[in-house]
Amino acid sequence: MTQYILRRALQAILTLLVISVLIFGLISSVPGGIMSAYSENPDFTQEDLARLREKYGLNDPVPVRYAKWLLNVLQGDWGNSFTSKRPALQEISDRLPNTLLLMGSMFLVTLAIAIPLGIYSALKQYTFFDHLLTTVALAGQSLPTFWFGLLLIIIFSVLLKTPDGKPLLPSAGMMTLGQPFNLLDRLRHLILPVSMLAVISAASYMRYMRSSMLDVIHKDYVRTARGKGLPEKMVISRHALRNALIPIVTLLGLDLPNLFGGALFTETIFAWPGIGRLFFDSAMKTDYPVLMAVLMVYSFLIVASNLLVDLVYTVLDPRITLD
């Protein structure tokens, strides 16, 4: 186990190094250059732009700038944002709790909906309920995220009103401005963005859960458990479900980095101040220190989550070893 983890750690370092080279090269090759967002601003003169390029070392060749960036990162310095002048990691840490709240709530709602419905749909294969759930899941997977979010806003914030004429649900932000923190108010702001993400995610997870469960319940060891006279609930929960969860764990492992990365469309549509909104704003302003920090942390989490998935496999299925 230890040798496996060390080997994967070395692979992860090389992978992240290659990713950093590719990302840095892509950001450096944007049309108009990194200073393009400022060159179109009439308040900046050519002298101002030249001074900024010199200040941030943008006159150096791309390999030199990458080497300087990598050396600074190894020393814990990810650079300062071009727009706010604050450290890039500080910008991320300020937005991270908001993204964890949104994405964590979404994952809990998604799993609470998808796993039970997927199991029940598999156990009631080809019934009316199974056909209905499959149809709804396909429709949910086909919904464009941004369209569904706008539809929710139109229905619950524009058309539907409270008795005093206010929107039934808030359409933007994570709190009501001018009011102190209130748990009920925070939950009301979460309803629409979480619903937007959970409906689409639950549709995908439910189909995977159903397919995996159908594959497992026809295995010999499940029939043997039934033949021994075990209660059906025990057969499903202890024998079938444990093995059916392995593909779901793979999906969760791939989706776990989204707890950090946030949801670009959702955070933009609902003005949620998270990492996804920070990435979008930084991309629009070519704020490359923040872009590099967000993308590299996200890449690290993807690599780490894949290792975590491999370790969880050994817990769910004793036949899988890491030797």
Query: What residue type is assigned to position 317 of the chain?
Result: D
> In terms of DSSP H, where are the helices of the chain?
2-28, 36-39, 46-55, 62-74, 88-123, 128-142, 145-153, 183-216, 220-227, 232-234, 241-255, 258-261, 264-269, 275-284, 288-316
Specify whether the CB–CB gap between 244 and 209 falls below 8 A: yes
Q: What is the pLDDT of residue 112?
A: 92
Amino acid in position 182: N
Using pLDDT thresholds of 50, 70 and 90, give the confidence band for residue 41.
low
Half-sphere exposure of 96 (CA within 13 A, CB side): 13
Among 246, 153, 158, 149, smallest CA distance to 200 is for 149
Check whether 196 has a pLDDT greater than 80.
Answer: yes
Look up residue 175 and give its two tokens: 């709190």
Amino acid present at 55: K
Instruction: Give percent above pLDDT 70 in the chain.
Output: 92
pLDDT, greater one: 294 or 249: 294
Which pLDDT value is given to residue 116? 92
Q: What is the pTM of this model?
A: 0.81
Alpha carbons 261 and 274: distance in angstroms, whole number: 9
Q: Using CB atoms within 10 A of its CB, is residue 126 exposed (0-12), middle (13-18) or buried (19+)?
A: exposed
Question: What is the 3-state secondary structure of 232-273?
Answer: HHHHHHHHHHHHHHHHHHHHHHHHCCHHHHCCHHHHHHCCCC
First to last CA, the chain: 7
| pLDDT value at 59 more than 70 | yes
Task: Report the distance separating Cα 293 and Cα 299, nearest Å.
Answer: 10
Residue, of 160 and 322, whose pLDDT is higher? 160
Average pLDDT over residues 185-199: 90
Q: What is the mean pLDDT of residues 45-63?
A: 78
Instruction: Choose which CATH entry (3.30.1330.200, 3.30.200.20, 3.20.20.80, 1.10.3720.10) describes domain 90-316.
Output: 1.10.3720.10
Q: Is residue 49 predicted with pLDDT exceeding 70?
A: yes
CB 306 within 8 A of CB 257: no
- CATH 1.10.3720.10 positions along the chain are 90-316
CA pair distance 117, 173, nearest whole angstrom? 31
For the ranges 145-159, 173-187, 286-300, the lowest mean pLDDT is seen at 173-187
User: pLDDT confidence of 109, banded at 50, 70, 90?
Assistant: very high
| 197-240 pLDDT, tens digit each | 888 888 889 989 999 999 888 888 888 888 888 888 888 888 78
What is the Cα Rg of the chain in Å? 24
Give the model's pLDDT for residue 257.
77
Average pLDDT, the chain: 84
Give the pLDDT score at 194: 92
